[in-house]
């Protein structure tokens, strides 16, 4: 298994993949570790998680540079990712016990009836490369603190990040087997998930990968949480504050070089604001700095792999052929590395690839609509349902529109984001289940009814 720097196209390091025997030993260690780990008081597990946050912060620059080297994230954003990982650890270090406290139910006077929350066992996490630390800690912080043990199958282009995360838990004092990285390919996922020692799975990734994991887990009757793709609508209504909407729109689309499931991808603008929004948005995107992701001034780095550039360019060309107007970019950059120019497409037809498919890179599609009703209809005209953003100066109106949108989350006058304090997840082809907050830590537990009379 080899990692390659997408900015230079040079190999970084080779790693030896785990054999079938290695996998079996890891599963056995996890099973043994679970029996001890689940029996420890949750307050002890919370303390350990706080120690993880300390390790993250003490080595933040090292981890940020590893992220940037392996997947090309601009260094400032990589630092923010590490900081966010520390935050989610601190959140559950403070709140896990309360989120999993017994819930008493009123039944009959003679009975003490409650719901208790107990861990399931070994949980397999199949994680993506685009947020190589955050996606893992978003899973691990609640799941391990609930008393489960974790097995990480990370993306094959970020093996250094995968091993670094395992080392972080070890340095924080977690017992061997509580968190294990498996350096294996996608072809090994089915075998690992089918093993009786694995009790559940979570995946963040593509629709295809989600369907495969769900199929295997369903056959073996194992719990899953899936966070899949997104084509997030960003609705700009006629009374929106365009200064803030435009500024946020640029961040919402181009952060992480546009390689994010929750990024705004379809900008749906009411006609009264359309021309001004397009002009101002395009001008702001043109100011973004494309360059070496290790440089402090860089806003847009390379895409993680060369094939992603090819796929994105095909979507852009197909959208232009369908009738979209190219306002900016629309081309590969002639330089070493997997770079694509920040791109803005306007007047995008609803049949164009940029309207129907998920664009995973620095490409924004802008749509004009007559009114609020058409904006909602277009936003919902998608097989995806991860997150949506609504812009209006009328908060009540924003909430009314938000309630009509078919997504797992809606943010009014804010970009879509994952925050440890609120549950996150999608519907439709964007997956199911929730991560973060109280709802997230209760996904991989047995909600046991206990009736004592």
Residue by residue, DSSP assigns 56-100 as HHHTHHHHHHHHHHHH---HHHHHHHHHHHHHHHHHHHHHHHHHT
Q: Based on DSSP, count helices (H) and strands (E) in the chain, helices before strands.
A: 15, 20
Known catalytic residue at 85: no
The Cα–Cα gap between 194 and 219 comes to 9
Cβ atoms 323, 352 nearer than 8 A: yes
Instruction: Tell me 187's DSSP state.
Output: G
Tokens matching residue 288: 């973004």
Give SS3 for 153: strand
Q: Out of 77, 166, 227, 327, pick the active-site residue.
A: 227
Question: Which residue is associated with the tokens 């190999």?
Answer: 11
Q: Per residue in 353-370, is it b (16+ CB within 10 Å) or e — as a string?
A: bbbbbbbbbbbbbbbbbe
Known catalytic residue at 161: no
Show Cβ contacts of residue 214 under 8 Å, excluding neighbours closer than 6 positions. Answer: 224, 226
The C-alpha torsion from 151 through 155 and 160 to 162, rounded to 10°, is -20
Show Cβ contacts of residue 42 under 8 Å, excluding neighbours closer than 6 positions. Answer: 96, 97, 100, 145, 146, 147
Cβ atoms 199, 122 nearer than 8 A: yes
Question: Which residue is associated with the tokens 């900016």?
Answer: 328
Give SS3 for 430: coil
The residue among 235, 286, 244 whose CA lies nearest residue 265 is 235
Q: Where are the alpha helices (DSSP H) in 255-337?
A: 271-286, 306-321
Q: Out of 77, 261, 357, 435, pick the active-site residue.
A: 261
The residue among 302, 297, 277 whose CA lies nearest residue 287 is 297
Tokens matching residue 249: 């729109």
The Cα–Cα gap between 301 and 177 comes to 36
The Cα–Cα gap between 231 and 374 comes to 17
Active-site residue list:
227, 261
């Amino acid at each position: 298994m080899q990692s390659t720097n997408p900015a230079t196209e040079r190999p970084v390091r080779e790693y030896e993949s785990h054999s079938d025997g290695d996998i079996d030993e890891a599963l056995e260690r996890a099973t043994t570790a679970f029996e001890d780990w689940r029996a420890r008081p949750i307050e002890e597990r919370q303390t350990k998680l706080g120690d993880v946050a300390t390790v993250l912060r003490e080595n933040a620059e090292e981890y940020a540079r590893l992220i940037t080297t392996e997947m090309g994230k601009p260094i400032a954003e990589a630092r923010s990712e590490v900081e966010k990982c520390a935050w989610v650890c601190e959140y559950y270090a403070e709140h896990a016990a309360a989120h999993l406290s017994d819930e008493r139910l009123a039944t009959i006077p003679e009975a003490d009836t409650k719901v208790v929350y107990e861990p399931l066992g070994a949980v397999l996490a199949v994680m993506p490369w685009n947020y190589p630390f955050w996606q893992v800690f978003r899973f691990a912080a609640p799941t391990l603190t609930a008393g489960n043990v974790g097995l990480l199958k990370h993306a094959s282009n970020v093996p250094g990040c995968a091993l670094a995360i395992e080392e972080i838990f070890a340095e924080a004092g977690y017992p061997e087997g509580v968190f294990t990285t498996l350096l294996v390919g996608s072809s090994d996922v089915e075998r690992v998930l089918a093993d009786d020692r694995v009790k559940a799975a979570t995946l963040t990734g593509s629709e295809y990968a989600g369907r495969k994991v769900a199929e295997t887990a369903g056959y073996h009757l194992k719990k899953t949480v899936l966070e899949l793709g997104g084509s997030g609508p960003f609705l700009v209504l006629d009374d929106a504050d365009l200064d803030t909407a435009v500024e946020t729109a640029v961040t919402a689309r181009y952060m992480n070089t546009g390689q994010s499931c929750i990024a705004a991808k379809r900008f749906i603008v009411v006609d009264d604001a359309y021309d001004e929004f397009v002009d101002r948005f395009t001008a702001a995107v043109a100011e973004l700095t494309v360059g070496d992701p290790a440089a402090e001034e860089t806003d847009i780095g390379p895409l993680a792999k060369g094939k992603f550039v090819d796929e994105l360019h095909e979507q852009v060309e197909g959208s232009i052929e369908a009738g979209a107007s190219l306002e900016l970019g629309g081309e590969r950059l002639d330089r070493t590395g997997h770079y694509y120019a920040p791109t803005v497409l306007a007047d995008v037809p609803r049949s164009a690839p940029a309207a129907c498919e998920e664009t995973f890179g620095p490409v924004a599609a802008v749509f004009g609509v007559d009114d609020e009703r058409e904006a909602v209809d277009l936003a919902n005209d998608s097989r995806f349902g991860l997150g949506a953003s609504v812009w209006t100066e009328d908060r009540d109106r924003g909430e009314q529109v938000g309630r009509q949108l078919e997504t797992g989350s809606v943010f009014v006058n804010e970009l879509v984001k994952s925050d440890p304090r609120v549950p996150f997840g999608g519907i439709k082809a964007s997956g199911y289940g929730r991560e973060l907050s109280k709802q997230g830590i209760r996904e991989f537990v047995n909600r046991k009814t206990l009736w004592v009379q």
